[in-house]
Amino acid sequence: MFIGIHATWDVYNCNADKLSFVPYIKESLHTITATLNLEELNEAFKQFEPIGVTGFILLAESHISIHTWPEHNYAAVDVFSCKEFDANVVTGLLKKLFDSNKIELNKLNRGSLDLVKLSNLDIR
């Protein structure tokens, strides 16, 4: 058992126009959080000139973030959550949202509950 899941996606061969500006990126991240039924607390997005976006949504469960490089048709996305979620669902959404035909998913279990329990023991 683990405290959380941290998943990252390298999203290649994207539609550069969709990666270029905040409104579409923001809508896309909101679509992902709604689909995963995650609770949004706050958000921050930065538009770069001439193109590119960094975005972050603070979740009750942790966070979702994105950084885009439209000039390379590439986006880096991650979700860290203490609530279990299906990373393959996000992969499908990213393919659809950014017209990608190549996505690499990496998943990491964070915070082994067995080790957390051991670290809380009062050993004297």
Question: Tens digits of per-residue pLDDT, 64-102?
Answer: 999 999 999 999 999 999 999 999 999 999 999 999 999
- At 41, give phi and psi (nearest 5°): -110, -40
Contacts of residue 44, defined as CB under 8 A and 6 or more positions apart, other chains included, come to 55, 56
> Would the pLDDT of 122 be above 80?
no
82 is catalytic: yes
67: annotated active-site residue: yes
**Do the beta carbons of residue 78 and residue 90 sit within 8 Å?**
no
Give, to the nearest 10 degrees, the angle between helix 87-98 and helix 22-35: 150
Domain that holds residue 34: 2-119
User: Is residue 81 exposed (0-12), middle (13-18) or buried (19+ Cβ within 10 Å)?
Assistant: buried
62 is catalytic: yes
> Would residue 80 count as lying in a domain?
yes
Alpha carbon separation from 76 to 11, 31, 69, 114, 117 (Å, rounded): 6, 17, 9, 31, 33
Please pick, among 6, 20, 28, 67, the residue that the annotation labels catalytic: 67
Residue 124 lies in a domain: no
Q: Say which amino acid occupies 89.
A: V
Q: What is the pTM of this model?
A: 0.90
State the total domains in the chain. 1
Whether 10 is in a domain gets the answer yes
Mean pLDDT for 37-66 is 97
- Choose the catalytic residue: 62, 65, 100, 119: 62
- For residue 42, the domain's CATH number is 3.60.90.10
